[in-house]
Structure 1
Amino acid sequence: MTVPADAPHEDDRTDRPASTARRFGALFGLGFLGILALVATSGPELVELAESPDVPVSAAVLAAATVVQSSILLAVAVLVGLYTAPRVGFRSHVLERVTTGDPIVSRLRAEVGPAVALGLVAGIVIVLAEFVFAPSPETVGDTADATAGAVLSSVPLRFLYGGITEELLLRWGFMSLVAFIGWRAVGRVRGSSLDRSAPSTGLLWAAILLSAVAFGIGHLPAAATLYGELTAGVVTWIVLGNAIGGIAFGWLFWRYSLEAAMIAHASSHVVFVVLSLVIVAV
């Protein structure tokens, strides 16, 4: 059987033991910036929670627990992606830089334009869909105390945790794993000894859609705080609304790179920040 030149090879050992720690550290360190932003942004909430009589620990302990829990999830996602992503044809410029010394900027230059454009479009589509499909504002908690300062203070969380950490969790870890499992399963169903052909377009789209839905589900805890309760309408909107962005970011991860998905994710938040500032100013 002829093997396509660009097909992922199961015996491509780019994850040699000698370089695994360095490759893991590069991606984990990138994602850890988002975890720090998450803890810094949630500081007031942690202090308020620690002052509750039902919580017998300090805000510092809660912050440490948040860091530990988030770091474990990130570490698992990075490790899973290190094994599965290259085998199904996904790439990361940061990983290639650490592994082979390939330059990041020159390789990323052609991807920035499409990533920013698609991220902005995704953000606009989500905003328009929110006006049409999101639950009535009466079901949402009071936002009268929102200020420009509060909106701007959320920028590190949006760009670092949303743009970087969430992409490592959902695209690099989860989407790569789904694509890899499907690729292996399809090979076995066909009765072959797992041919080395690349995953089909349909399989990759399934991975994109599943990771997009998982992306939406991951926003339900925050939605419960915002809306007060998770009604059917709230769950449907949160999952499908966030899946809009998830599909765009997943497609960029497939067709370009992990970094392109990160740039698009951060760009979508530019739309949300600008709109929030306009609402506050009006």
Structure 2
Amino acid sequence: MIDWEKKLDWVKNQANTIKSGVKSKQPMKVGQALTKVFLLVVLILAIGPQYTNEDGWELRIVSFALSPANEIGDTFAGIAGVLAFLWIIVTVWLQSKELAAQHKELKATREELKLTREAHQKQVSILEKQAVIFEIEQADRLEMRAKDQFDQMLGLLSELMQNEERWGSRWRPRNLNSSGMIIGLPVFEIRKATSADDAVKQGVSGSLVCLRGLKEYFHKKTDISKSDIRDAYLQCLSFVHEVMRPYEQLSPGQKMRFDSMGLDQLRDNLRELLEMDIWVESGEV
């Protein structure tokens, strides 16, 4: 005796499986449940009675077994066709689900690549900023080193010009009686300098005054004394060139300081003095 209540419970269970499979997007569960329900329907129909005019009531399974071979084949083909159609639907569903998963994965990959690209761009930006900072720091170090060198050389030049009385010369007319006084034109006239910068500025002014005074002597054809220590002033000019050497490495503020002292003018004045006929030639008494 068939327990129809259990069968109904089983059908309800399969219906719930189909429903939950559809909601949770699990095509395999849905396909399996539909296959079971379909086969159960086929089984019920197969064992169910049927009435014929020739034999009266009999089981369909008996009638099916006694049917011609082509009818049996058509029946199995029909059952297989339904199952095949069902699992084609399940297969398409599975492929659709896989394609959706691939699409989601590709989207996640694109997002990851986008984040990676943005991170790379940020890293490049940081490296560029670090490079700029490094260049600025390196420029600052070079400017500081150039300033220290400039200050040191400027201090030595200031000391050299302030001590001209020890190593330099004065030019004066030959017929002028000094009477024990220090007279004549020195190249540098520095008095009470307050700093190296001030001493150099006074030296620039003094060299210009000396140059103008000597030109005045030549204009009046005044016979003046000559100096035999031209080499000392050549060395002084060479030292001025050394002081001017770090100009390009100086900061803008230090370049303004350099320009305000007139070192270019001092260099030109010394060159002109060295070319004038105020020096004792070799063999000249």
Which structure has the higher relative contact order (CA within 8 Å, separation 6+)? Answer: 1
TM-score (norm 1): 0.25
